[in-house]
Structure 1
Amino acid sequence: MINLPVDYIGVVFANSRRRITPEQAAALKSVLLEWSVNERPKLAGVFVNPTFHELEHVMEIVSLDVIQLHGQESAEFCEQVKKRWNANVFKAVSFPQDDTGQDADHVALQRLDAYTGFVDAILLDTFDPLYGGGSGKTFAWERIPAYAEWAAKNDVAMFVAGGLQADNVQHLIQTYRPYGVDVSSGVETEGLKDITKITTFVERVKQA
């Protein structure tokens, strides 16, 4: 992937078939030094309800640029993380698959207000009961505008994840104009990252 025009690369520390050790993440980060300096993507670590001790352990071994939280982490926890490390904090907002849930959105957006100032981005994803995210399924995209409005008002970036692949990402971007998109299973073949799918996905994103 060296010098592909991507902005972030994620490494998973949550309970998942993609989970790696902090030592493996440190080795992967060393590869980023092979990229052109101005094009080096930021390294994001993906966690689900981590303890502060777990974050301390990981950050001692690999200095992450982004701490991405996919569980039920509180605003107070995000505040602690933000104050402790010089890293961006991304907070995932998970939706049940195909649930339109406008009433729930009103409540969720009110709760998000507490995170203002403590998160640099929100990431809209499809809820997975086992892992929190990474389901490979889309959610009801018509829910996006309310969150986009909240993000713009609070100067927070908005990413969209959940079931994205080369065939649908252009439609998403052209319709909803998120700050960024997040992909994992959509660029895999038989559970492994596929460089052909990754390249095609990135091309479609840039074209959009």
Structure 2
Amino acid sequence: MTAGEQLRAEKKAWRLVQLLVGLVGYGTALTFLVGSSLGASSWSVLAEGLSLRTGMSFGWATNLTAVVVLLCWIPLRELPGLGTFLNVVLVGTSADLAALFVPPPTSLVQQIGYLLLGLLMLTFSDAVYLGARFGSGPRDGLMTGAVRLSGGKPIWLVRTAIELVVLTAGWLLGGTVGLGTLLIALLMGPLVQQFLRVTTVRLAADG
């Protein structure tokens, strides 16, 4: 749906609440993943690296990255929705707020716990906000736009290329790459797909 169609579609109140819960949960999940020190997603590795190099908070680095990626939508001719803009604002902000309440892990067991909890929260929250059907986040739009401009290259190939470039940049900046990075790369897609089956809001236009 276009941005206008998203706003005109039914169940707006429920969908808006679901969108906000998903985005806040997503940002909170990033705090657990980064806090585990066992590796996070490629984009979080980049944000962590930027945070270390610039002195800005992880959340602000996440928001800044999202803004830059969103600007890349212009030549890609991607159309943002309400969820796109709220993603830019809320994910990083929620990560910073969660960091005020989530204590650093004190043992390997707790690190693993943070990693697993963060992974489940990340995938479920991603499905929750996408299921609200207010548009994709900046990073997902970058992928779909790149797929279209690539002349129909497979989604997995384009997504993998983007993730590798982002991960390498983050690692060179000092971001943490580890077991969590591998787990997220392997499980993110399948888990989000499963969760979307129960989080996607059904609309009359679906038939």
For the aligned pair, the TM-score class normalised by the smaller chain equals under 0.3
Please report the TM-score for the alignment, with normalisation by the length of structure 1: 0.25
Q: Which has the higher contact order (CA 8 A, sep 6+)?
A: 2
**Structure (1/2) with the larger helix percentage:** 2
Please report the TM-score for the alignment, with normalisation by the length of structure 2: 0.25
